[in-house]
Structure 1
Amino acid sequence: MDLSTSTPSRRTVLGMGGALGLAGLLAACGSGGSSGASGGGSSSGNLRVWFMKDSVSQKGMDWLKQTFEQQNPGSTLTYEIQVWDGIVAKLQTALASADSTPDIIELGNTQAPTFCAVGALEDLSDMKSELGGDDLTKSLVDLGSYDGKMYAAPFYAGSRIFFYRKDLFAAAGVQVPTTIDELTAAATTLQQANASTANFSGIYLPGISWQSCIAWLFTNGGLLASQQGDTWKGGLSTPEAQKSLQQLQAIWKTGSTSGTVTDSTTASQPFVPFNTNETAMFFGFNWHLKSIDQGLVSADKVGYFGFPPAAAGGVGKPFAGGSNVAISAKSSKKDLAKKAMQLIFSKDFQEAFATEGGWVPGNLKYASALGSDELSTLTTAAVKNSVGTPAAKNWALVEGAKTVDDFYVAMGAGKDPVSLAAAADAAMEKVLNQA
């Protein structure tokens, strides 16, 4: 992910990005569809591109603009850089009109399902193979698809891996865990071994960090919600989900004192207790390395491992945050936009996500550009194995209502997972199934 210090606030916004103004979006764009502009549009003109602040490096943007304009004489490409705060409301207005719409837009991955469902985006299914096909990040393909068609292609992503203190592991006689059960046991042993340190957590895992907590859900084969026919069903009451909740509460009971942390800013800075010897491990992003005490790094006291599988030989499945990129259904320059999309998914531009920004590119064929070191390799594997939030048009409303946030906060506080899951499932179903 982006190594800039602005990334945490950016990711917080992105995580809840689709919530604001959604009802109006459904009304404004609902009749748009891919019929918003006839044919392929103008053969030349100015292509307007909305990228989000800090998503694409200046070097990457310069390359795309110059290459596009060289390959399309008489046409220009203009960037209009946006900020995450308020972007849904802004898109609601812009995408509803052929006169105001940008041609290419970046969307937060959890925002994408809504825009796909309401007909605001052009169908890219016929381009999928040339954009990357099976090499495209699957969890983002799922979020950028609706009714079997892909409308928003994976742009870039980042996913969590574990950072751990080698010295604290060694002192407690703990090995790197290879299953979730071993992770719980390791956290418990570390907690006990450091009982003299106030507020010590074997693992730093705040309940408010629900996008971390759902790795346990996904790895056990559960989902937040799933579609059954035309109906969405909440997934927190399923046996798979309940098993994951039991595992989490076991960690919070014996291997962590951080479950009751409810301040999102504090939760987004897990490197703080890591640096002050108050935790032995945390679940974070590759860019957190820059915030870790470099004395610890240079002394070889920092190690990494991926989210462990439910059983030996399996695969851990964390959540991946990131963005999708799409063409507006109202664009009058769709042919030009598709040419730009081809460049966006070319080797030069995709590799720039990794080399310039520290992201995993949407086309995993080019992910090796991130690096061959252990941290980069684990980050790429985490994105490749990731699972996404439900690809439901109303999912942004669920996030906006903080249904999942509140649920995992209650889990971190030790509340009953069965009754709370039933209530959360009912709340999600009510929102997901409304017209």
Structure 2
Amino acid sequence: MNARHRRISLSLALAFAATALLPGCGLLPGGDDDKSTVTVWLMRGSASDAFVERFTEGFEKEHDDIDLDIRVHEWTGIGPKVQKALKKADGPDVIEVGNTQVSQYVDRGGLEDLTLESARDLGMEDWLPGLGEPGRYRGAQYGVPWYAANRVVLYNKDLFAQAGIKQPPKTRQQWLDATARLDNGANQGIYLAGQDWYTLSGFIWDEGGDLAKEKNGAWKGSLHSPAALRGMEFYKQLQALGDGPQNADEEHPPQAGVFAKGDVAQIIAVPGSARAIEAKNPRLKGKIGYFPIPGKTAGKPGAVFTGGSDLVVREGTKERKAAVEVVKALAGAKWQKDLARTMDYVPNKTKLAPTVSGDAGVAAMAAGAARGRATPNSPRWALVEANNPIKAYMSKVLAGADAAAEAKAASGRITEALEDYGR
């Protein structure tokens, strides 16, 4: 192992073991005063060790005036860690954050405005909307898209064949019709838990609605809009074509385990769920197919919630120029393609989607990601999710309650969590 690889491995090992914040940028001890060290925080599971080594070696070879110190952190509890680090003069220079977390970090102060670089060097006009839009706050770009993941439909090929369905549905109506044929008493047409609010969000966006709207700096819940109610009505029709619980979400019980029993025709999940399904039921290996969540018309997949990460730069870093170079490299085509192939992610730009065309699950995910969205870009949105009124609303409507009345009540609770913020 050469010296560079020993240093990378040591850095990673220290990161995994660390329980306290570590110092950030600075000059290498005893090194050239013109050489910078950029400290990068990445999250566990976002990139493999092999990718980190490849990137570090490749980047340092192309930038002989910059050394990288890449440290890996756990997602659990990362919010307070990042908030604390952003206040430190020697904090990390580049940080991977969840795409929906950017606004809260900006609002409390601590991120560099990257609007100029995004427009001039990073091709922001082609970014996936579900990554680019939540990285923007009050007209400025702070988060640069890194990678995306979203839900698709996983289906049992054997059950589709038995029902005479030769092609995956392309429209919502085709989807309802096919699912009704699959829901035949012996099998469930679809397993859709009653509180899968991420999936509901996509249906609402397809109809032109939203979970909350901002006007003059004030956020208000909008589940009671006619468009949002149409999205809930479609969810109700689809959910009825299976035995998903009305009062639980997709993890209670884990839907992969339910699908693995072999009598469920479809679930809505990330493609990687197939690994868990096959581990529980090896007989399903090779029998799981994928298609994008259908939209209202055949030409457009349905809107989906986009999960993933953005890259941000700590405000006031002494290594701003070097940190931006790191972000540009990680977000650039070369390393985007490498990361997508390594981790089965969707690249940050629509034009890079062919990179993952060889994997059916990721290709379906990429098709949906082109119409991806994120949750309302309020710094207080986490308070909505902490005691999520959308879930309770869904369960009540599925149990027969008046949708308009329950939606208005849920919108009020969303407004209470978001009101008087950001004015």
The residue correspondences of 1:403-418 to structure 2 (distance < 5 A) are 403-418=389-404
**Which of residues 92, 104, 127 in structure 2 aligns to 1:102?**
92
Structure 2 residue 179 is matched with structure 1 residue 187 = yes
Structure 2 residue 407 is matched with structure 1 residue 427 = no
Change over 3 Å in CA distance of 1:363–1:311 after alignment to 2: closer
Query: Is the Cα–Cα contact under 8 Å of residues 116 and 144 in structure 1 kept in the other structure?
Result: no
> Hey, what's the Cα distance between the residues in 1 that align with 2:263 and 2:59?
51
What's the TM-score, normalizing by structure 1?
A: 0.82
Structure 2 residue 378 is matched with structure 1 residue 387 = no
2:175 alignment partner, SS class: helix
Same amino acid, percent of matched pairs? 29
Structure 2 residue 288 is matched with structure 1 residue 296 = no
Structure 2 residue 238 is matched with structure 1 residue 246 = no
Deviation at 1:215, TM superposition (A): 1.9
> Hey, what's the Cα distance between the residues in 1 that align with 2:129 and 2:249?
32
**Which of residues 208, 230, 241 in structure 1 aligns to 2:195?**
208
Deviation at 1:403, TM superposition (A): 2.7
Match in the other structure for 2:308: 322
Query: Is the Cα–Cα contact under 8 Å of residues 93 and 317 in structure 2 kept in the other structure?
Result: yes
Structure 2 residue 273 is matched with structure 1 residue 262 = no
The code of the aligned residue for 1:203 comes to: I
Deviation at 1:122, TM superposition (A): 0.6
> Hey, what's the Cα distance between the residues in 2 that align with 1:377 and 1:241?
28
2:267 alignment partner, SS class: strand
Deviation at 1:123, TM superposition (A): 0.8
Query: Is the Cα–Cα contact under 8 Å of residues 309 and 317 in structure 1 kept in the other structure?
Result: yes
**Which of residues 217, 220, 234 in structure 2 aligns to 1:233?**
220
1:248 alignment partner, SS class: helix
> Hey, what's the Cα distance between the residues in 2 that align with 1:264 and 1:56?
26
The residue correspondences of 1:10-159 to structure 2 (distance < 5 A) are 44-73=35-64, 75-99=66-90, 101-129=91-119, 130-159=121-150
Alignment root-mean-square deviation, CA = 2.2
Deviation at 1:185, TM superposition (A): 2.8
Query: Is the Cα–Cα contact under 8 Å of residues 194 and 239 in structure 2 kept in the other structure?
Result: no
Structure 2 residue 328 is matched with structure 1 residue 342 = yes
Residue segments in structure 1 that go unaligned for 5+ positions in a row: 1-41
Deviations 1:406-435 (A, max 9, x none): 333444444432222111111111222233
Deviation at 1:243, TM superposition (A): 0.7
Query: Is the Cα–Cα contact under 8 Å of residues 57 and 357 in structure 1 kept in the other structure?
Result: yes
> Hey, what's the Cα distance between the residues in 1 that align with 2:62 and 2:294?
46
Change over 3 Å in CA distance of 1:302–1:67 after alignment to 2: closer
Deviation at 1:90, TM superposition (A): 1.0
Structure 2 residue 280 is matched with structure 1 residue 280 = no
Farther-moved stretch of structure 1 (223-232 vs 85-94):
223-232
Match in the other structure for 1:308: 294
1:163 alignment partner, SS class: strand
> Hey, what's the Cα distance between the residues in 1 that align with 2:74 and 2:365?
26
Farther-moved stretch of structure 1 (283-292 vs 421-430):
283-292
1:319 alignment partner, SS class: strand
Change over 3 Å in CA distance of 1:80–1:408 after alignment to 2: farther
> Hey, what's the Cα distance between the residues in 2 that align with 1:83 and 1:94?
15
Farther-moved stretch of structure 1 (182-191 vs 152-161):
182-191
> Hey, what's the Cα distance between the residues in 2 that align with 1:415 and 1:201?
24
The code of the aligned residue for 1:265 comes to: E
**Which of residues 362, 370, 395 in structure 1 aligns to 2:348?**
362
Farther-moved stretch of structure 1 (122-131 vs 57-66):
57-66
Match in the other structure for 2:170: 178
Deviation at 1:89, TM superposition (A): 1.0
> Hey, what's the Cα distance between the residues in 2 that align with 1:179 and 1:371?
21
Match in the other structure for 2:23: none
> Hey, what's the Cα distance between the residues in 2 that align with 1:407 and 1:70?
54
> Hey, what's the Cα distance between the residues in 1 that align with 2:228 and 2:34?
51
> Hey, what's the Cα distance between the residues in 1 that align with 2:249 and 2:129?
32
> Hey, what's the Cα distance between the residues in 2 that align with 1:432 and 1:43?
47
Farther-moved stretch of structure 1 (82-91 vs 375-384):
375-384
Deviations 1:63-115 (A, max 9, x none): 3322333344454211221111111111121112223x211011111212212
Match in the other structure for 1:18: none
> Hey, what's the Cα distance between the residues in 2 that align with 1:331 and 1:132?
24
> Hey, what's the Cα distance between the residues in 2 that align with 1:170 and 1:349?
39
